[in-house]
Chains A and B, each alone.
Chain A
Amino acid sequence: MDGSRLVKEFTKGLWKEIPPFRFVLGLCPTLACTTTVRDGFGMGLCLTFVLVCSNILISLLRKVIPSQVRIPCFIVVVATFVIIVELVTQAYFYSLYMALGIFIPLIVVNCIPLGRAEAFASKNEVIYSLADGLGMGLGFTCSLTALAIFREVFGKGTFLYHHIMWSGFEPFAFLQKPPGAFVCLGLMLGIMNLIGSGEK
């Protein structure tokens, strides 16, 4: 086990290839589930769980899965973990489950778990796949949470449902609506690119 490679696979998901900004995948939940910080963070964690579990399992079974049926196998694995997440959130985090709605089951077609399974987990050892999944998942969670903080604080005036802005503050309701999500994400992506290009 190569320690520095492990660190590299883990950290790439946190900045260099952070979804959805650098690694432009998984846009649907990014836009839909970031109206409040709780939803953004919750969605990020759900996806991280699915991603890490499916990466590990697919990596473990990579020598057994025949190439011709690999996509259906990946789908079955990812869907299984998605349903587990669905059931667990329904049982223990009911209000989050109601808020995220159909986007929890939609994790199964989210390009991130399937994409990483195809591109990484099916070709690398378990420990690196775990690092990759964890890094990407946490990166995704950070992105979602950042976007959600912006949208909730300025769009609603609250943070985790507590009012934190001064009393005369008029919330910028546009940010809470669908078009606001697109514009906000687009601007954040542009700024990330600006910061990124400065690094090169």
Chain B
Amino acid sequence: MEQEVWTFSDYIMLVVSGVLVNNILLIRFLGNCPFLGVSKKMDTAVGMTFGVIFVLTCTGPITWFVEHYLLEKFDIVYLETLAFILTIAVFVQLVEMVIKKVSPALYRGLGIYLPLITTNCCILGTCFYNIRFKFGFMPTVVFSFASALGFGLALIIMAGIRERFHYARIPKCFQDTSIGLITAGLIGLSFFAFAGLAK
């Protein structure tokens, strides 16, 4: 995915790829822990989605800057893991403090997810992918946003289905996480229909 010049249709393809074809959660396996924990009810799923979209779209570019203007300059690229996780943790901490001060209502709705998002592998993973795929600045922003969107999409679909599990008779041993995983697999299978749409 190394390109010199990005056209608008390239960006569209990147979004399609991130959201559908290579869905960050169902295909790239990132973000599973909160996925199963938060997708039981629609409102928690929506809250988490907004949180992830906000944090990822911001930290994607921020970590891109850290990589290119800090780590590469001092030839300490091997500290990438440490630098990125600290950047994300600090960013989330700052955001949490700001939201708490500015809007207690928003904090009640969204703020509790923020610490959870720090250890969400989806965030750190996408930041890594931005570097591995050698994206420039704009593609990084778009890809981060698209990945977050994909995560949210999978999460909301899952929540919608799981809310209806109340009405299904599921054997005791398969309840909760087990059936959640199987469902995720089947949703992922349906996403395979998008394969070939984009790289």
Contact = CB atoms under 8 A, between A and B. Distances in A.
B181 A186 contact: yes
B30 interface: yes
Interface residues of B, number: 44
Contacts of B26: 178-179, 182
With most chain B CB atoms within 10 A of its CB, the pick from A26, A80, A185 is: A185
A96 interface: no
Give the size range of A's interface with the partner. 35 or more
A192 to B, nearest CB: 8
A186 B192 contact: no
A17 interface: no
B96 interface: no
Interface in A94-127: 101-102, 105-106, 108-111, 114
Interface in A168-195: 177-187, 189-191, 193-194
The secondary structure that dominates the B interface is helix
Given A186-B180, A189-B181, A83 B81 contact: yes
A72 B121 contact: no
B184 to A, nearest CB: 5
Contact of A189 (B29, B30, B81, B178): B178
A76 interface: yes
B178 A28 contact: no
A32 B85 CA distance: 21
Given A83-B78, A185-B181, A105 B89 contact: no
A96 B28 CA distance: 18
A109 B178 contact: no
Given A108-B124, A190-B179, 5 more contacts: A28-B29, A28-B33, A102-B128, A102-B129, A108-B85
19 contacts: A79-B85, A83-B82, A106-B128, A108-B81, A179-B185, A179-B188, A179-B189, A181-B185, A183-B182, A183-B185, A183-B186, A186-B182, A186-B184, A186-B185, A193-B172, A193-B173, A193-B174, A194-B173, A197-B172
Interface of B: 26-33, 36, 78-82, 85-86, 89, 118-121, 123-125, 128-129, 132, 171-174, 177-186, 188-189, 192
